[in-house]
Amino acid sequence: MRVGTTNKLAHLQVEYNEVTEQTSMLSAQLPALEAQISSMQQYVSCNQGDRKALQRYNQLVRNYNSLLNQIRRNQNRLVSIANRIGAENRRVAYQQTRASMGVARQAQRAQNAQIRQNYQMQKQLMTDSYR
């Protein structure tokens, strides 16, 4: 179980890193696209009859909105992955705590068995010494 959980945690961390990188790359594209949109907007406002330029402007706006939506989806996904990573970290910590408690219980049982054995030996010595 612990190996599976650790592997799942590693996969989630890799996925988080990939989504973070993708989001930063998408965000880096926004300023250039905003500049293109603003220049096309100025051109279209002066040359309203240019259908080709209007189509290009509309396409740029669609691409810009698409990038914004993808960034927003990635940010939501990052929150979700971060929550899952936290849950996996808690699960791993719980498993480690249980394992250490199990080792402590086993050591306590061994110690108690040793105490019982010593007691039995002392009891036997006491009964043998009176005979």
Contact call for residues 37 and 64 (beta carbons, < 8 A): yes
- Segments making up each domain of the chain, as ranges: 2-106
The rounded distance, in Å, linking the Cα atoms of 79 and 71 is: 12
- Radius of gyration for the alpha carbons in the chain, expressed in angstroms and rounded: 34
The rounded distance, in Å, linking the Cα atoms of 85 and 16 is: 9
Angle at 130 between CA 127 and CA 131, to 5 degrees: 95
Task: For residue 50, give both structure tokens.
Answer: 């240019």
The rounded distance, in Å, linking the Cα atoms of 17 and 28 is: 17
Three-state DSSP state, 131: coil
Contact call for residues 47 and 113 (beta carbons, < 8 A): no
pLDDT in tens, the chain (131 residues): 455 656 888 899 999 999 999 999 999 999 999 999 999 999 998 888 889 999 999 999 999 999 999 999 999 999 999 999 999 999 988 988 988 898 888 989 888 888 888 888 888 877 877 65
pTM beyond 0.85, yes or no: no
